Amino acid sequence: MLECIDFAFLADRVIPALNRGLDVSLRLIIPAALIGGALGVFTGVTRVFGPRWARRLADAAVAVIRGVPLTVQLMILYFGLPNVPYLRIDLEPFTAALAGFIFCTGAYQSEYVRGALLSIRQGQIRAGQALGMTKLQIITSIVVPQAVRRALPGCGNEVIYLIKYSSLAYIITCIELTGRAKTLISQTYRPTEVYLTAALYYLAMVTLATWLLNWLERKLAIPGFGKNNT
Amino acid sequence: MNASSPLLQVRGVSKTLGGRAILHDVSITVDPGDLKVLIGPSGAGKSTFLQCINRLIAPDEGEILLNGMPIDGSSTAELCRLRQEVGMIFQDFNLFDHLTAEANVALALRKVRGLSSDNAGKRARKELERVGLASRAGLYPAQLSGGQKQRVAIARALAMEPKVLLLDEPTSALDPELVGEVLAVIRDLAAGGMPMIMATHQMDFARSLATEILFMEQGRIIEQGSPADLLATGANTRTRDFCSRLIASESGKAGA
């Protein structure tokens, strides 16, 4: 079976090309996961504890981002924004893709965080108030540390989605892993080897991310926390 | 500060929630060394009343005076000051689930009192020692028994050096065998002169330690007086009637 795979072709052409693509992919995924995660926590907190106008605004933003296909959002960011009168925001392909991923992942993360925030027992908030803590202190030192731990499995899932939907960046000419693969195929007409290798690259990234997330969950684990809290 | 004014004075508190009157013109005065015990059937408004005193629930009417100074609750700073001086113990402990016993006590010392982590930790260990939990400082709430959790909650409140302590049925969520250790801590506080208002169903405790018993029903205080007056054999009071029924149902439960 292995005769059908040309190892020389893999080593000489596929791997160098895909490595360059991988570099761009990682430069999209890592900042998007970190900044998007922080944005998700902020948006989630706003949606639960913010003043009414901020809650409305954040809810609306999340509804739009979750309601429009990411492909269309990327198109708007890259092809649409330069044509908006007065604004004329002209983004580089990489910047447009990164912005699209940050908004998208932030919106979904805020949903996990929101759910976790709502699950924190009200009694602890009252206990914080009874000690004279301000609302902001209660949110930052009691509610968010617990909510982040509760939200972590869901947020990890979102990071794994992010790794895979980062492959949409090539449609706005940000040539990352999938983009490199397509370019190489159009030069060599050997889709099997190229796509299979690209698939293995994604699988490796997802596996690594899964390990990292499991490690983080273990590191942040607190005895008895999250298990049928009364 | 006025030397002649009571430590804490709550006057004419009323509260309506969802169209239902929960509290109706309830007043209480606490002087140094007082242990006022609120009793009454569940739904009488004891818990709501206690939470109105430190304004966790904003009363519709009435005023709260601390050392003779009215606290109107309109400014956040004033509210935070009131709550530092009026500590609260909850029925279901409300420990912070993600923090060790020591960190539970230290958190408000750092955030509200501005102590350094070192000093807050030292102070927290001292408070835990006072409630007999020095050896449990590093454990998380899930690793503590109910009685230990409540003692951590008491240490957490005491660390803020409150002038008055409000206790909302502090032993009601505990297994019977754990009630004693929490009552022992509260008894020590009473012996030390800590002014307290406590809602409880522990009648023996109330009888032996209360300076005054207030009987609440349907959002009103309908009887108040010393335990000797209200619980005396032959005293024809609602309080005594309620207590005897309470004791009857308790022994009924024990017999079943």
Q: Would you say B160 and B131 are in contact if contact means Cβ atoms under 8 Å apart?
A: no
Q: Would you say A94 and A174 are in contact if contact means Cβ atoms under 8 Å apart?
A: yes
Collect all residues of chain B within an 8 Å Cβ-Cβ radius of residue A134.
76, 80
What CA–CA distance (Å, rounded) separates B50 from B57? 9
Percent composition of chain B: helix, strand, coil (DSSP 3-state, to 5): 45, 25, 35
Q: Does A29 have pLDDT greater than 60?
A: yes
Q: Would you say B61 and B52 are in contact if contact means Cβ atoms under 8 Å apart?
A: no
Phi-psi region of B45 (alpha: psi -120 to 50; beta: other; left: phi over 0): left
- What is the pLDDT, as a whole number, of residue A86? 83
Edge-to-edge order in the sheet of strand B212-217: B86-89, B164-168, B196-199, B35-39, B212-217, B220-225
Asked whether residue B1 is domain-assigned, the answer is no
**Cα–Cα distance list, A185 to A13, A144, A170 (Å):** 11, 47, 14
Q: What percent of chain A has pLDDT over 70?
A: 96
Asked whether residue B62 is domain-assigned, the answer is yes
- Cα B203 to chain centroid, rounded: 16
Return the CATH class of domain A2-220: mainly alpha
| Structural domain harbouring B157 | 8-255
Task: Report the predicted TM-score, pTM, of the whole model to 2 decimal places.
Answer: 0.84
What CA–CA distance (Å, rounded) separates A12 from A14? 6
- Position B122: which residue type? K
Contact A121 B97 (CB under 8 A): yes
**Can you give the residue ranges of every domain in chain A?**
2-220
Beta-carbon neighbour count of residue B4 at 10 Å? 5
User: Taking CA B43 as the corner, what is the angle to CA B40 and CA B49, rounded to the nearest 5 degrees?
Assistant: 75
Strands B8-17 and B164-168: unpaired
Q: Can you tell me which residue has the tokens 């991988």?
A: A22
Tokens matching residue A146: 């617990």
Quote the minimal CA–CA distance from A145 to chain B in Å: 7
pLDDT in tens, chain B (256 residues): 455 788 999 999 999 988 888 999 999 999 998 999 999 888 889 999 999 999 999 999 999 998 888 887 778 888 888 899 999 999 999 999 999 999 999 999 999 999 999 999 999 999 999 999 999 999 999 999 999 999 999 999 999 999 999 999 999 999 988 999 999 999 999 999 999 999 998 888 888 899 999 999 999 998 888 888 888 777 777 888 887 777 777 665 544 4
Asked whether residue B170 is domain-assigned, the answer is yes
Asked whether residue B109 is domain-assigned, the answer is yes
> Which among B163, B231, B166, B244 has a CA at the least distance from the CA of B200?
B166
CATH number at residue B188: 3.40.50.300
Asked whether residue B2 is domain-assigned, the answer is no
Q: Can you tell me which residue has the tokens 């693969």?
A: A181
Contact B96 A133 (CB under 8 A): no
Nearest to B90 among A127, A146, A149 (CB): A127
Nearest CA in chain A to B144: A224
Q: Would you say B59 and B70 are in contact if contact means Cβ atoms under 8 Å apart?
A: no
User: Taking CA B153 as the corner, what is the angle to CA B174 and CA B65, rounded to the nearest 5 degrees?
Assistant: 110
CB contact burial B201-211 (16+ within 10 A = b; e otherwise): bbbebbeebbb
Nearest CA in chain B to A136: B111
Scanning A198-227 for CB atoms below 8 A from B yields: 222-225, 227
Quote the minimal CA–CA distance from A127 to chain B in Å: 6
Is the interface score ipTM higher than 0.95? no
Collect all residues of chain A within an 8 Å Cβ-Cβ radius of residue B96.
124, 127-128, 142, 146
pLDDT per residue over A46-72, tens digit each?
999 999 999 999 999 999 999 999 999
How many domains does one find in chain B?
Answer: 1
Chain B residues contacting A, CB < 8 Å?
51, 54, 56, 76, 80-81, 83-84, 87-88, 90, 92-98, 107-108, 111-112, 139-143, 153, 156-157, 160
DSSP B228: H
